[in-house]
Chain A
Amino acid sequence: MRAIHLLLMLSLLIAMLAACGNGGAPSNTVEISIVYGSEKRAWLEEAVSRFNNTRPKTDSGATIRVTATPMGSSDALNRILNGTLQPVVWSPASRILLPVANDEWGKRNPGQQLVSEDAPPLVLSPVVIAMWEPMARVLGWPDKPIGWTEIAELLASGKTWADSGRPEWGAVQFGHTHPDYSNSGITTIIAITYAAVGKTRGLTVADVENPRTAEFMRQIQSGVIHYGESTGFFAEQMFKRGPGYLSMAVLYENAVIESRDRERYPNLTTPVVAIYPREGTFWSDHPYAILNSPWVSAEQRAAAELFKNFLLDQPQQELALKYGFRPAGVNVPVGAPIIPENGVDPQQPATLLEVPRPEVLAAIRGIWAANKKRVDVMAVLDVSGSMQEENRLEQAKAALRIFVEQLGDADGFGLTIFSNEATVLSPISPIGPKRAEMLERIAGLVPDGQTRLLDTIAEAYSVLAAEPPGQRIRAVVVLTDGLDNQSRRSSEELLALLRQDEGGYSIKVFTIAFGGDADVNLFKQIAEASGAKSYVGKPDEPGNIERVYTDIAVFF
């Protein structure tokens, strides 16, 4: 009897071992990881879940599981190149980056190509200038064709809407994403460069390096409210805040269609229209590129092909149309919602701009970086005693140092710390001459005392409010782990202060609730009141706070 018991126990034990042997993913599962441009998130997530629900199998009988992560197109490429990201498939917003990817990969792996430049498009959407319809009409839309040149000249002229008899709209406020992180940002600076030299193809490095091109770029950038990684964030800010916040932004056509979604934007009363620039534009064509990299196995490649075919099948392509994309599948006709009633024109664009060669593109990035709008940012850091827990202060210090390193020499940076009271360690001034000193000061901070949060934010805000709006991006970046227990002001008073200025050039207060007792909800309200973004930092997740500060840096 005892032997049976023993055997029974052993069997159970081994059964348990067998069950947990492979973690959640049994050995006969092929994982397909995809990083993709976030604009197609809603469509792709639905398609992925449809695919996974069919319990797809490879020829050898292994179950295929697709996981998809949205990420800015350029950001994803940089991480693939430096080895911190190893997906099976990369689907950026457009193929503009494919030759760049091969160029850079080839430098590291001579003679090799990372992706096929013929990677098939999944869904299509043209790059457009999204504008409020009444503003577009002031510019002559829809009878007069409007181009990058007209927009650029408007921004460069320094005119406000008052010059067109509409003072209630304020300044001409413009938005595009950060070209180092986002596809629509790259296309914008290419288009601006073409407009500057009056060409639509054959752009040369000499064209780009002409001083007049740089001046043109600088003038247009002066109208920008801020940059940022996500085209979707711009669209949301524009549609939620209305014409007084952002006059126009470079978006994809599908975002203009989304603006008509009453459930999503119930308060949007002024319609948005898509302007297809007359000189030509670019397509966001979402190529599906399976990586030719050592970490992709033949089995994964075959499974990724199956998923590609699934995405190009009629049902998924019809779904894409529902989300406002033009289907890549030629058998799905373009129809509603891509109709003029939604502010878009299915017969446009009529022509395209030529994609410049990689060296010309590099030169364009160069003049943008030198002429982009500058930021004045006050970093406000909690050094109260509780920041000692979970090593929060040390983590925040390391992340803030990375943030400081990302600023350009002409960007203004100031540092304020607070505990029982606030201390301005360095008022806002160009970071260039004082960068080394700032890095050292940050490294030397130690935790002690209470949390005087709200007053400190208000003080930093007031200093920036003394600057004239529109000349530089003005921002406060505040991190805390605690509830305010020292301020005279209430949270309502602070929010009321922030809400006084609802323009796009308003001071942006980026907030980071970093563990502890931080009031996540209040921080969200503060960020939203100013048109900035709020973050919840995770002290227990290595690298998390660095990513938060880096994301904020992309707004500048």
Chain B
Amino acid sequence: MESLTRLIGIGYLSVVLILLLLTAVVGPFGDAPLQLPLGPAQTPVEVTIWYGTEKRQWLEEAAQRFAATNPRVGRRPVQLVLRGIGSRESVERIARQDFQADGQPTVVSPASSLWLEVLRAEWAARNPTAATIIAEGPDAPRLLVLTPLVVVAWEERASILWKNGPDDFWHDVHAALANEEGWIGVARARGFAEDSPEYRQARNWGFVKFGHTSPLTSNSGTQALILQAYGYHRKASGLTVADILDPDFQQWLRDIQTAVLEFGDSTGTFMTSMVQFGPSKYDLVVVYENLALENIQAAQGRWGKLRIYYPPATMFSDHPYAILEAPWTTPEQRQAAAQFRDFLLSRPLQELAFKSYGFRPIDPDVPVLTNDPDNPFNKYRDSGAQVAIAQQVETPSAEVIATLLDFWRRQVNR
């Protein structure tokens, strides 16, 4: 009997000894007694989405809501990985298959469909054997939300710049930026008397500070440049290569562009800077309407009235959701990506995009003209928000855009 007890004792101590030895050698393992996996674990289907950062907040909230629905492909759970990357950068890196730490994307969702064309062309040029990159058929790109390009400015300052309204929008901006005395010169040119409160205020404002993102890395920067080109030529369609090569236009554009202190890569960061640093850093910036609507309250909580100004003609960003039929994507991933896409296009998510984040919904069943006080166009009407868009410019040909960007790269790029 005693030997049995001893045997149990020795056995027990031996097990403890082996476990402790293991602990000493490989470090502690298991920190809870009941961590046994119940049944075989299902590897998740990972969907990596490279998206333009301007829709970060909406997508992040959508991803959380999506996860709460416990989405699955077969028995496998779906896991989303969101990577905010500038529109131009994302399509160029996909074409080069330069994924870095961001993982291989299943979906790319740039700010504008313009960039899908660029992706198709660049991919074909670099990967002649794998003909397609963007899925077609039922998985073909779908538009998620819309937003026009606008200018936001501090009302106190804009009311000096556009004393009689922003009719000659881009030419007024040019004159203000080219004014060597800065705001005080603008106030004088606009006919404010030296003893007027506006004039006295303007003495402390320094130069007129204008900003938009880099046209080489960001969609809104490219669009801003296109609008300026149309603005100079006072038209909304038919922009030609000759228009871009016009030396007077080039000088005019250089005047504007050299007054931009820094060209950021992300429109979202730009809008955030406007809230954080107020009129000390920027007097007026070119951003998407949704970012303006989303941040207007925060900006006013800090610095006073920020107002949205619609250029006489503008461009929309349409946020396509493109599932990639790439060598690295699997049918399961594409299926999971389509599930998330349908989720984004569902009415509750479209309403969320509109009411919380200021995007114009793609879903025609979500009305933008309502009396609902939550409707951002009602909420921010006093700050210039309006549903009606006077005019859209015609998207210039790829050649015109390339010429414009090439001019910018050679003459402005900093």
Q: Is the CB of B301 within 8 A of A7?
A: no
* A61 → B minimal CB distance (Å): 8
Contact A351 B276 (CB under 8 A): no
Task: Check A18–B24 contact: CB distance below 8 A.
Answer: yes
Chain A 17-30, CB-CB to B under 8 Å as 1, else 0, gives 11001100011100
| Interchain pairs with CB closer than 8 A, number | 100
Q: Which of A1-27 contact B (CB under 8 A)?
A: 1, 3-4, 7-8, 10-11, 14-15, 17-18, 21-22, 26-27
A352/B27 in contact, CB under 8 A = no
Alpha-carbon distance A27/B27, docked complex (angstroms) = 7
Smallest Cβ-Cβ distance to B201: which chain A residue: A350
Query: In A319-377, which residues have CB < 8 Å from any B CB?
Result: 326, 328, 330-331, 333-334, 346-352, 354
Which of B206, B269, B298 is in CB contact (< 8 Å) with A200? B206
Contact status B203-A145, CB under 8 Å: yes
Expressed in whole angstroms, the Cα–Cα distance for A354 and B259 within the complex equals 11
Q: Tally chain B residues at the interface, Cβ within 8 Å.
A: 40
Chain A window 145-175, contacts with chain B (Cβ cutoff 8 Å), 1 for yes, 0 for no: 1000000000000000000000000000000
Task: Check B24–A21 contact: CB distance below 8 A.
Answer: yes
What string of 1s and 0s marks CB contacts (under 8 Å) between B65-96 and chain A? 00000000000000000000000000000000
Q: A200-B207, A279-B206, A351-B209 are in contact. Are A118 and B17 (CB under 8 A)?
A: no
B27 in contact with A28 (CB, 8 Å): yes
| Interface residue ranges, B against A (CB under 8 Å) | 6, 9-10, 13-14, 16-17, 20-21, 23-24, 27-28, 101, 203-207, 209, 261, 264-266, 269, 272, 275-281, 295, 298-299, 301-304
Are B20 and A18 touching (Cβ within 8 A)? Answer: yes
| 6 A-B pairs with the lowest CB-CB distances in the bound complex, closest first | A351-B206, A333-B301, A18-B24, A7-B13, A330-B298, A330-B275
Which residue in chain A gives the minimum CB-CB distance to B20?
A: A14
Q: Across the interface, do B17 and A350 meet the contact criterion of CB distance under 8 Å?
A: no
What 1/0 flags go to A501-517 for Cβ under 8 Å of B? 00000000000000000
23 contacts between A and B (CB under 8 A): A3-B10, A4-B6, A14-B17, A18-B28, A27-B28, A118-B265, A124-B276, A145-B203, A200-B206, A200-B207, A283-B277, A285-B276, A326-B302, A330-B295, A330-B298, A330-B299, A333-B302, A334-B302, A347-B278, A350-B204, A351-B206, A351-B207, A352-B209
Q: Decide: B298 and A11 in contact? CB cutoff 8 A.
A: no
Cβ-defined partner of A15 (8 Å) among B20, B203, B264, B304: B20
CB contacts (< 8 Å) of A298 on chain B: these are 101
A348 to B302: give the CA distance in the assembly, Å: 10
The reply to whether A26 and B28 form a contact with Cβ atoms under 8 Å apart is yes
Q: Any chain B CB within 8 A of the CB of A87?
A: no
Chain A nearest Cβ from B21, distance in angstroms: 6
With a cutoff of 8 Å between Cβ atoms, the chain B residues found around residue A346 in the complex are: 302
Is A201 in contact with chain B by the CB < 8 A criterion? Answer: yes
Closest A residue, CB atoms, query B22: A18
Give which listed residue, A3, A17, A352, contacts B24 with CB less than 8 A: A17
Closest to B23 in A: A18
The answer to the question of A242 belonging to the interface, with a C-beta cut-off of 8 Å to chain B, is no
B21 CB contacts on chain A under 8 angstroms = 14
Which A residues, 265 to 297, have Cβ-Cβ distances below 8 Å to chain B? 278-281, 283, 285
Give Cα A346 to B277, complex, Å: 11
Residues of A within 8 A of B303 (CB): 347
Closest to A126 in B: B280
Query: In the complex the two chains form, what is the Cα distance from A354 to B258 in whole Å?
Result: 13
Task: Assess A351 versus B17: contact at CB under 8 Å? Given A18-B24, A27-B27, A334-B301.
Answer: no
Q: Whole-angstrom distance between the alpha carbons of A14 and B25 in the complex?
A: 10
Given A7-B10, A8-B13, A118-B264, do A351 and B275 touch, yes or no (CB 8 Å)?
Answer: no
Interface size of A by CB at 8 A reads 44
- Given A118-B264, A351-B209, A352-B280, do A278 and B204 touch, yes or no (CB 8 Å)? yes
A354: chain B residues at CB < 8 Å are 261
Residues of the A chain whose Cβ atoms lie less than 8 Å from the Cβ of B276: 121, 124, 285, 326, 328, 330
- Among A11, A21, A124, A333, the residue within 8 A (CB) of B13 is A11
Chain B positions within 8 Å of A10 at CB level: 17
The residues of A that contact B301 with a CB separation of less than 8 Å are: 333-334
Given contacts A4-B10, A124-B276, contact A201 B27 (CB under 8 A): no
User: Which A residues lie within 8 Å of B266 (CB)?
Assistant: 118
- Kindly state the separation between the CA atoms of A330 and B352 in the bound complex, as whole angstroms: 20
Residues of A within 8 A of B23 (CB): 18
Question: In this complex, what residue of A is CB-closest to B16?
Answer: A11
* Shortest distance from the beta carbon of B377 to any chain A beta carbon, whole Å: 21
User: By the criterion CB–CB under 8 Å, are A11 and B20 in contact?
Assistant: yes
**A3 contact set on B, CB distance < 8 A:** 10
Q: Is the CB of B204 within 8 A of A145?
A: yes
Contact residues in B for A326 (Cβ distance below 8 Å)? 276, 302
Complex interface: chain B residues within 8 A of A118 (CB): 264-266, 269
B197 to A: closest C-beta gap in Å:
13
- How far is it, in angstroms, between the C-alpha of A124 and the C-alpha of B275 when the chains are bound? 12
Question: Which A residues touch B304, using CB under 8 A?
Answer: 347
Query: How close is B214's CB to chain A, nearest CB, in angstroms?
Result: 12
Contacts of A201 in B (CB 8 A): 207, 261
**CA of A28 to CA of B280 in the docked complex: distance in angstroms?**
46
B36 CB → nearest A CB, Å: 16
Nearest chain A CB to B48's CB is how many angstroms away? 15
Complex alpha-carbon distance, A130 and B163, angstroms: 37
List the A side residues contacting B272 at CB < 8 Å. Answer: 330
Complex Cα–Cα for A4 and B12 (A): 10
Q: With the chains together, A454 CA to B386 CA distance in Å?
A: 78
- A426 CB to closest chain B CB, in angstroms? 51
A350 touches B205 (CB 8 A): yes
Neighbouring B residues of A351 by C-beta, 8 Å: 204-207, 209, 279-280
Minimum CB–CB distance for B31 against chain A, Å: 8
Known: A14-B20, A15-B20, A118-B266. A331 touches B14 (CB 8 A): no
The smallest beta-carbon distance between A129 and chain B, in angstroms, is: 15
Do A7 and B14 touch (CB < 8 A)?
yes
Please measure, in the bound complex, the distance between the C-alpha atom of A348 and the C-alpha atom of B9, giving whole angstroms: 77
Give the CA-CA distance A22 to B28 in the complex, in Å. 10
Task: Across the interface, name the chain A residue whose C-beta is closest to B101.
Answer: A298
Known pairs A3-B10, A352-B281; list 14 more (Cβ under 8 Å). Answer: A7-B10, A8-B13, A10-B17, A21-B24, A28-B27, A118-B269, A126-B280, A201-B261, A281-B280, A285-B276, A330-B276, A334-B301, A350-B280, A351-B279
Chain B residue numbers with a CB within 8 Å of A28 are 27-28
Query: Which residue on chain B has the smallest CB distance to residue A346?
Result: B302
Complex formed: what's the CA distance from A330 to B276 in Å?
Answer: 7
Chain B neighbourhood of A283, CB < 8 A: 277, 280-281
- Per the bound structure, the CA–CA distance linking A280 and B261 in Å amounts to 14
In whole angstroms, what is the CA distance A555 to B10 when docked? 70
Whether the pair B27, A280 counts as a contact (CB closer than 8 A) is: no
CA distance A349 to B302 in the complex (A): 12
Residues of chain A within 8 A of B279, CB atoms compared: 350-351
Q: How far is the CB of A12 from chain B (nearest CB, A)?
A: 9
A280 partner residues in chain B, CB cutoff 8 A = 206, 280
A201 to B258 Cα, complex, angstroms? 12
Please give, as numbers and ranges, the residues of chain B lying within 8 Å of A333 by CB-CB distance. 298, 301-302
Interface centre among A8, A11, A280 (most CB of B within 10 A): A11
For residue B205, which residues in chain A have a CB less than 8 angstroms away from its CB? 350-351
